Amino acid sequence: MHTGTLRMTKQRLLILDELMKVRNHPTAYEVYGMVKRTMPQISLGTVYRNLEFLSNCGRIQRLSFGSGKRRYDGNPDNHHHLCCMACGRVDDLPAVMQMEDALNRMLDEIGGYQVKGLSIEAYGICPACREMQDQEGKNKTIRRELWGNSRARRQRRI
């Protein structure tokens, strides 16, 4: 990093530092909560402005999935993203050479572009939400069975 071209204030350094510690792509408000532990007097506006500054400089990534809130990513490695449509969590998807090569070839064939960068945002249901949905499905079945049994008992009584 060239500190000469990018002025790093104490606040900016702390924000960058906190952001690079996590992998959950926090919103500005979540970063504010993290930074406040070390710098209690910092304001949300300052955090937001610095996050915008850092993303404009390319030091961090700014993610906005669909109409969702802006999230920030301090992971410097080349990677893509998976977004859960149920809970909104964003996970990293490591870059896979073969996949990128195939996509780049396809984009060249279809669009005639020589691709220099690729960023994938995949949408779906995360493992935790899938498990919850499975569980809900099971509970519904159990409720149906219980209800069925009590009705059977009532009918026997009659």
What residues line the site for Zn ion (CB under 5 A)?
73, 75, 84, 86-87, 92, 126, 129
The residue (of 107 and 129) whose beta carbon lies closer to Zn ion is: 129
For the residues of 5-20, what is the DSSP string, one character each? TS---HHHHHHHHHHH
Indicate the residue among 75 and 104 with the shorter CB distance to Zn ion. 75
Q: How far is the CB of 75 from Zn ion (least distance, A)?
A: 5
What the block records as the tokens of 61 is: 């990534």
Q: What is the closest distance, in whole angstroms, from the C-beta atom of residue 74 to Zn ion in the complex?
A: 8
- Cβ proximity to Zn ion: between 127 and 148 the closer is 127
Contact between residue 82 and residue 73 where contact means Cβ atoms under 8 Å apart: no
Closest approach, Cβ 112 to Zn ion, in A, equals 30
Least Å distance, CB 158 to Zn ion, is 47
Contact between 27 and 64 (Cβ < 8 Å): no
Q: Which residues contact 136 (CB under 8 A, 6 or more apart)?
A: none
How many CB atoms sit inside 10 A of residue 36's CB?
Answer: 15
- If the CB atoms of residues 66 and 112 are measured against Zn ion, the closer one turns out to be 66
Which candidate, 139, 66, 34, places its Cα nearest to that of 50?
34
